[in-house]
Structure 1
Amino acid sequence: MVRGRRADTRRKRGTRGQTGKDGSSMESRWAWWLAVAGWTVRVVMFPVIVLSVRRPTTCLAWLAVVFFEPWVGAPLYALLGGIRLGRRRLEQRVRLALRYHPPATSTQQAITEAERRLKADRRVLAGLAQRVGGLPPVSGNAVTLTADSQAFVDQLIADIDAATDHAHLLFYIYRDDYVGRAVSDALIRAAARGVTCRVLVDAVGARPIARRLAPQMQRQGVQVVFALPANVIRRRFARIDVRNHRKIAVIDGRIGYTGSQNIVEPTYGHRRAGEWHDIMARIRGPAVNHLQQIFVEDWFYETGEPLAPDDAVGQRYFPVPEQAGETTLQVIPTGPDRPTENFSYLMVEAIHQARRRVVVTSPYFVPDEPLFLALKLAALRGLDVRIILPKKSDHPVVHAAAMFYCRELFNSGVRILRYRDGLLHAKTLTTDERFGFFGTANFDIRSFHLNFEVNVQTFDPDLIHQLLALQEDYIRRCDEMTALVWHRRPRWKYLAEECAKLLSPLL
């Protein structure tokens, strides 16, 4: 009996041992297959990334993410990697850029006069900008800059209320707040008078109006279209974080607006960084035709509705412009449908031509290598180089990366000023009193190489002085980073900034 029990015990132990060995073997096989699958993903993704991403730093960053964690990196790259609109949609945008130029006779005089006025060095910048955006400089414009958000909204509503034919709006953010509702009410009133009202908004930035405000506008006769839907089901069309970041309004083809302000109350994001401070330009003259062209291209791209297929419609949307003033402007549309690196080269050339002073304002500052070196070399040449950023940001990782670059530039002699009265959202660049630049593009890699943006450059002394006056007002409300301030910063901030810099090619 005892021997029988002992034998049963040995058999049970042997069974449990065999089961343990089988389980361990199964786990080993799963681990082996998982390792093989992981390396298969790495090997497959290597040529995909290398052949798709042109910029070496961005390419290396994506490879590092995929090789470190392939099961996270590969899906992230599928959603966010590369600059893709889809082959057919990209070809469509290129055809539109050739098709929807304003009638040559409507702006030829303004183009000729602008070329006559430009000096040799400025012609270099104008030519480079034309290669970037495809549009020449035009003279005969009247421009009013405003940094008062409510004043811009009031003037826009007044112009919509006075519209007789059409009102076209293209904005990245459009919110269902008192500003959004006020502009929407003006559009509804205009539609009731028989004015054609079209609103094109980014599908991500204006998502909150999709539920209530947009349907209300559509029921009242205002056409509302959401650009670049960020829908995973539509992955064959584009990466989901390519956004239309433009801000444009065109009224009757005679009045245009562009700048950094969205259709949103200035306290948007107040909890994180404070009230937003923007710059908007109200333009009359030939440059309005170029803003209209950008809207027409984007509208057709999203809807398939041609707004300028013949002479009659062309005259409606591209009327012969009035000579409203003496200012020469050059509108510069950029996006992944154009050679994106040229936009960065334009900034580099403008800084290279500076002789005394360079001032940059931007809410987000993650420069690519050419811009970073241009700013550093300008300071080393003895120029007064100032970068103005908000003291608090609504994007902590981007802000940490910005502070890394600022620290490096500070060590080369660049003055870093931090705006303390809210989120400075204006994007401007001035060099001496010879060049001025403003628009929708931040001074970061995303704006330079990814998003659809629209910017304006000018060589007009009066408009440049307006920009300089606004920049001086910002400087008076800044705290400057000194060597002592840098030295007293907590060590953990340095660590966070050094880590954030690794992500800068992806921001």
Structure 2
Amino acid sequence: MLLDLLGIGTLIALIQLLGVLAAFHAIRHARTSQGAVAWAVSLVAVPYVTLIPYLFLGHSRFTGYVRARRLCNQLMHRRAQQKILTRALDLEPEHGKRTGYLNQYALAALTQLAQKPFSDGNQVRILINGAATFAAIFAALERATQYVMVQFFIVRDDRLGRQLKDILLDKAAAGVRVYFLYDGIGSHELPRHYTESLRAGGVEVYRFAARRFVNRFQLNFRNHRKLVVVDGERAFVGGHNVGIEYLGEEPPLAPWRDTHIEVLGPAVHDLQAVFIEDWYWATQRVPVLEPSRPCAPLKAEMHCLVIPSGPADPYETCLLFFIELINAARQRVWISTPYFVPDEALFVALRLAVMRGLDVRILLPARSDHTVVFEASTLYAYDAVRAGVKLLRYRPGFLHQKVVLIDEAAAAIGSANLDNRSFRLNFELMVLTLDATFAAEVSKMLEADFALADAVALAEYIKLPPWRRTVMHVARLFSPLL
């Protein structure tokens, strides 16, 4: 009995010591002071509860991973035989004045973030909801003659997933090179027979995941991008993953509200370059492509900027992208996002936009797909209303689209949410367009969504029972991980 008590005491002391050591690690490596405090306090106070979660989720960015990813990108650039990256286009100082959409200082900052210039002569088409999105994607895949690149965060082995698999197998059998990349965390339920059947049919399939053993304990770094490229001439980007819920066929979140875009023109090569970097990271090989044909500008004046972001960036690309767009606005800032857990700097940018007299609106879902995120988002929503932002909740079903509309001509659509995970942890992808006609289409789409939404009133928070308000404040403590 004495030995049992001694063993239990030793185990408790060991866990407590590990908690203290982990707390020092959190203080040194957490990327925000809030995250450092949250982890350090919990690791010291209740290490029995938080030590294992910290092992999996703790440091959002560690040096080994970042260096490996950057080195991998450099090697890929040197090894590539084709001109597969971005087309050359100098950003002239008069560019902003010529388009009249964003000032030249905002354009310069955005191109620095993207590490590439705007491309002109593009066409972009809005695809509203899953039926339109996958009809367009599948039709484009059916027409492929050389190669297709397919990348999703979530792929399910359901009716939609099997339809995608059948198309990819048919194209591979016809001699088209098919590259299929999926995230290992987002698609953790994807059965092995799904990918094995693709490989057996000639499709190159890889899982995006950390390659080193120690990184396998990290669930933070997720490739959240959704990207399809067909023959280097047509690309699809947006919020949809591959699953019947994205078709609006999965209660209780149905009907699912989401947005994708179809891109034509030189911007497709920029999007293709994003896939190639991810593919090289997963495989250490460059996809075999036809000799690169420059995408001739279309008879259009749309300027596009492809903004990939991730934890290996030299700076927080995704967060700075949103902040710069908000700061550049002179008339309105309309945002649609499923998750609203803003960084303090982003919240300040929104508050200042309100003070400048701008029309600032944020559209959120009225239904929850992740309880903790929803409760934290609700509290931040009330804070935003208190700051003068107009918050609206979409009623019909779950809202998953990621859309930003600035003034009369700038619109951004892609995979990034307004939360810390997109800002600092996930690999994301946004496409910024500068075109008055397209912005008008986005405006019309958002106005239709606003008509199906209810405004959030500050009085709602006051009427909530104390236990609910406590839950929301507790949920906000997890903001660095959400």
Q: Output the TM-score relative to the length of structure 1.
A: 0.86
The equivalent residue for 1:51 is 28
Does 174-183 or 247-256 show the bigger shift? 174-183
| More displaced stretch, 120-129 vs 175-184 | 120-129
Partner of 1:337: 312
Q: Which residue of 1 aligns with 2:227?
A: 248
Give the distance between the partners of 1:443 and 1:128, measured in 2 at CA.
20
Aligned equivalents of 1:463, 1:165: Cα separation in 2: 30
Q: Is the 8 A contact 2:55 2:217 kept in 1?
A: no
Distance of 2:86 and 2:69 partners within structure 1: 28
The alpha carbon displacement at 1:240 in A equals 2.2
Specify the alignment match of 1:13 in structure 2. none
Tell me how many residue pairs correspond in the alignment. 476
The aligned counterpart of 2:332 is 357
- Judge which range, 124-133 or 174-183, deviates more: 124-133
Amino acid at match of 1:57: Q
Q: CA deviation at 1:389?
A: 0.5
**Structure 1 position 68, deviation (Å):** 1.6
Most deviating of 356-365 and 441-450: 356-365
**Residue 141 of structure 1 aligns to a residue in which SS?**
strand
Superposed counterparts of 1:97-136, under 5 Å? 98-99=77-78, 103=83, 107-109=87-89, 115=95, 117-118=98-99, 121-136=102-117
What is the deviation of 1:299?
0.8
CA distance in structure 2 between the aligned counterparts of 1:122 and 1:218, rounded to whole angstroms = 49
Aligned-pair CA distance for 1:270: 3.2
Match of 1:198 among 174, 179, 188: 179
Q: How does 1:443-454 map to 2 (within 5 A)?
A: 443-454=418-429
Question: Separation in 1 of the partners of 2:81 and 2:242?
Answer: 27
Question: Paired residue for 1:300, among 280, 283, 294?
Answer: 280
Query: Residue 120 and residue 464 in structure 1: after superposition, are their counterparts in 2 closer, same or farther (change >3 A)?
Result: closer
Note the alpha carbon deviations across 1:9-36, whole angstroms, 9 max, x for none. xxxxxxxxxxxxx95x984x56764564
Q: Structure 1 residues 164-173 or 133-142, which shifts more?
A: 133-142
Tell me whether 84-93 or 424-433 shows the greater mean CA deviation. Answer: 84-93
Q: Does structure 2 conserve the Cα–Cα contact (< 8 Å) formed by 1:114 and 1:139?
A: no
Contact 1:269 1:394 in 2 (8 A): no
- 1:267–1:276: 8 Å Cα contact kept in structure 2? yes
Given candidates 23, 29, 41, the residue that maps to 1:64 is: 41
CA contact (8 A) 2:280 2:286 kept: yes
User: Comparing 121-130 with 370-379, which one deviates more in the overlay?
Assistant: 121-130
Contact 1:433 1:464 in 2 (8 A): yes
Letter in 1 for 2:45: F
Q: Distance in 1 between matches of 2:273 and 2:446?
A: 30
Question: Is the CA contact (8 Å cut-off) linking 1:380 and 1:412 kept in structure 2?
Answer: no
User: Deviations 1:243-291 (Å, cap 9, x if unpaired)?
Assistant: 1100111101111111111122225783343332111111111100011
1:151–1:342 distance in 2 versus 1, CA, 3 Å: closer
State the shift of 1:92 in Å. 2.9
Q: Which stretch shifts more, 218-227 or 450-459?
A: 218-227
Partner of 1:12: none
Structure 2 CA distance for aligned equivalents of residues 48 and 485 of structure 1: 40
Retained in 1: the 8 A contact 2:409–2:437? Answer: no
Letter in 2 for 1:468: S
* SS in structure 1 at match of 2:334: strand
SS in 2 for 1:443: coil
Partner amino acid for 1:194?
G
| Number of the residue aligned with 1:80 | 57
CA contact (8 A) 1:92 1:301 kept: no
Q: CA, structure 1 residues 105+483, in 2 after alignment: closer, same or farther (shift >3 Å)?
A: closer
> 1:436 — aligned with what?
411
| Cα separation, partners in 2 of 1:188 and 1:37, compared to 1, 3 Å | closer
Note if 1:184 corresponds to 2:158: no
Q: In 1, distance between residues paired with 2:335 and 2:394?
A: 12
Residue number among 92, 101, 115 corresponding to 2:71 in the alignment: 92
Quick one: distance in 2 between partners of 1:362 and 1:283? 21
Shift of 1:168: 0.7
Relative to structure 1, the CA distance from residue 192 to residue 36 in structure 2 (aligned partners, 3 Å threshold; closer, same or farther) is: closer
Secondary structure in 2 matching 1:135 = coil
Secondary structure of the structure 2 residue equivalent to 1:246: coil
Partner Cα distance (2:30, 2:370) in 1: 25
CA distance in 2, matches of 1:280, 1:205: 19
The answer to whether the 8 Å contact 1:253/1:288 transfers is yes
**In 2, Cα distance between the equivalents of 1:433 and 1:203?**
39
Matched, 1:347 2:326: no
SS at match of 1:397: helix
Q: How many angstroms apart in 1 are the aligned matches of 2:331 and 2:354?
A: 10
The sequence identity of aligned pairs, in percent, is 30
Do 2:72 and 2:280's aligned partners in 1 also have CA atoms closer than 8 Å? no
Distance change >3 Å, CA 39–CA 218, structure 1 → 2: closer
1:289 paired to 2:263: no
Deviations 1:198-251 (A, max 9, x none): 11011122233333322222222222211116x9x9334661231110011110
In the TM superposition, what is the alpha-carbon distance from 1:356 to its structure 2 partner? 2.8
Q: Distance in 1 between matches of 2:257 and 2:455?
A: 19
Calculate the TM-score normalised by the size of structure 2.
0.90
1:62, 1:372 → 2: CA distance? 23
Contact 1:126 1:330 in 2 (8 A): no
Determine if the alignment matches structure 1 residue 277 to structure 2 residue 257.
yes
- For structure 1, the residue ranges without an aligned partner over 5 or more in a row are 1-21
CA contact (8 A) 1:157 1:186 kept: yes
Query: More deviation in 84-93 or 171-180?
Result: 84-93
Q: Indicate if the aligned counterparts of 1:49 and 1:63 stay in contact, CA closer than 8 A.
A: yes
Is residue 383 of structure 2 the alignment partner of residue 408 of structure 1? yes
1:67 is displaced (CA, Å) by 1.3
Structure 2 SS opposite 1:206: coil
More helix by share: 1
Closer/same/farther in 2, CA of residues 276 and 284 from structure 1, 3 Å limit: same
Structure 2 residue 154 is matched with structure 1 residue 173: yes
Name the SS for the 2:148 alignment partner. strand
The question of 1:37 aligning with 2:17 is answered no
User: Compared with structure 1, are the counterparts of its residues 96 and 347 closer, same or farther at alpha carbon in structure 2 (3 Å cutoff)?
Assistant: farther
Report deviation, 1:499. 1.2
Q: What CA distance in whole angstroms lies between the structure 1 residues aligned with 2:420 and 2:444?
A: 27
